Amino acid sequence: MKSLTQPIISHLWFDKEAIEAAEFYTSVFPNSRITNKVTIKDTPSGDADQVMFNIWGQPFMAISAGPFFKINPSISFTVNFDPSRLEHPRELLDQVWDKLSDGGTELMPLGEYPFSKRFGWIMDRYGVSWQIMLTDPEGEPRPEIIPSLLFVGDNCGKAEEARDFYVSVFQQTKPGALIHYGPGQEPDKEGTVMFSDFMLENTWFTAMDSAHEHAFSFNEAVSFMVICDDQEQIDYYWEKLSSVPEAEQCGWLKDRYGISWQIAPAILDTFMHEGTAEQRARVTQAFLQMKKFDIAELERAYRDE
């Protein structure tokens, strides 16, 4: 099985705010831009706006598809301000924090912590959570934006297992840091994960356990898109990741931890952005009937065969 040619894309589900949120994020973070917009017609949610954008080197996609899923802090995004790469990292960090705080909710106040001279956790006006961090320049460099997984409730204690599982599934991987809770850190259990990170197909993730009370868990509102070059890759990732048959729909699946993935063919982007309105409509109606994507069937729909 060959490695993927595209990074894993973080996908955000909104009721109606996808384009508005993308415009906001690309105004907040440096080196960020919207790369594409398309409206998918006649979905079960009606006409759905879809927008692709890049935040400081991290690819994102967002969709306005109705009030079915609500974003929560089980998946957040760590933002690294690295003094070895930025001229004024603290000032830039504070500027980003102030913008995200406008209409947002503070989860951990901005201040000094044992693991960072300046850190804060904020849920912005759209419900997306950001961990803003002044990074230790002596550590191994990491990307500016990293998806971060919080294992809580029934998942608490599974962060290390999940890390090992994902590293075994993807082709180009790298295990990074792994730090466990020690004694006296209750309610967190000694030996569970206080912090870990790992790379999957050139995309870094972090994962940690938390035994504190949390009124949320993983859901479809934040998912991860795996863009596949061919049917072999789609079949492989579908078989390896899907663990909840009733969640399989339109290329979406849930893994054994409840995290949602979208296993999508690269050619679908070509169909949806370069096809005529009639071609896009046929392809949309075809994939709405699918669980796992069938590239040959999508191609037949595109050609109207």
CA 241 to chain centre: 16
pLDDT value at residue 305: 66
Q: In 3D, which of 5, 9, 16 has the Cα closest to residue 225?
A: 9
SS3 content of the chain, % helix, strand, coil (to 5): 25, 35, 35
Order of all β-strands in the sheet with 33-43: 33-43, 46-55, 58-64, 9-14, 222-228, 260-265, 252-254
Cross-strand partners of 37:
51
In order of 171, 203, 273, the CA distances from 266 in angstroms are 17, 17, 12
What tokens appear for 278 in the block? Answer: 């009639």
Amino acid code (one letter) for 304: D
Helices (H), the chain: 18-28, 89-101, 159-169, 231-241, 266-274, 277-288, 295-303
Report pLDDT for 4: 84
Burial of 112 by CB count in 10 Å (0-12 exposed, 13-18 middle, 19+ buried)?
exposed
Residue with tokens 């599982």: 165
Give me the tens of pLDDT residue by residue for the chain, a chain 305 residues long.
788 888 899 999 999 999 999 999 999 999 999 999 988 888 887 888 999 999 999 999 999 999 999 999 999 999 999 999 999 999 999 999 999 999 999 999 999 999 999 999 999 999 999 999 999 877 788 999 999 999 999 999 999 999 999 999 999 999 999 999 999 999 999 999 999 999 999 999 999 999 999 999 999 999 999 999 999 999 999 999 999 999 999 999 999 999 999 999 999 888 887 878 888 889 888 988 999 999 999 999 988 86
CA dihedral angle for residue 268, residue 25, residue 17, residue 120, rounded to 10 degrees: 120
- Whole-angstrom CA distances from 6 to 52, 183, 224 are 14, 41, 12
Sequence-distant (≥ 6) Cβ neighbours of residue 304 within 8 angstroms: 278, 279, 282
pLDDT for residue 75: 98
Q: What is the rounded distance in angstroms from the CA atom of residue 78 to the CA atom of residue 171?
A: 24
Per-residue pLDDT, 73: 97
Which tokens go with 229? Answer: 């070059």
Per DSSP, the three-state class of 236 is: helix
Buried b (16+ CB within 10 A) or exposed e, 153-163: eebbebbbebb
Other Cβ atoms less than 10 A from the Cβ of 278: the count is 10
